[in-house]
Amino acid sequence: MNDAVDVCQIHIQADVETVWKTLTKRGEVLPFFFGNVMHTTELKEGAPMHMRSPNGKYTGVVGKILE
């Protein structure tokens, strides 16, 4: 049995609001989400959310916003 543990940390030098705005951009390519584009009607609990390729041909994530 392998007892090795990987621990990764990312430190972002920005305020929470800036990070949130960047992570939740809609309608533009998000390189940190493998170059996908977030599609949602609104950022609200229960709203559908999809992560699609820029041309819309492939969908990598299908879900809904939980909170």
Residue 1 maps to a domain: no
Residue 39 maps to a domain: yes
- For residues 38 and 51, the answer to whether their CB atoms sit within 8 Å is yes
Residue 40 maps to a domain: yes
pLDDT at 3 over 90: no
Residue 2 maps to a domain: no
Residue length of the chain: 67
Residue 54 maps to a domain: yes
Q: How many domains does the structure of the chain reveal?
A: 1
For the entire predicted model, the pTM comes to: 0.73
How far, in Å, are 26, 53, 67 from residue 31 at the CA level? 13, 11, 24
How far, in Å, are 6, 12, 23, 53, 59 from residue 9 at the CA level? 10, 10, 17, 27, 28
Residue 61 maps to a domain: yes
The residues, any chain, with a CB within 8 Å of residue 27's CB and separated by 6 or more, are 37, 38, 39
Range of the domain at 38: 16-65
Residue 48 maps to a domain: yes
pLDDT per residue over 6-58, tens digit each? 999 989 999 999 999 999 999 999 999 999 999 999 999 999 999 999 999 99
Residue 10 maps to a domain: no
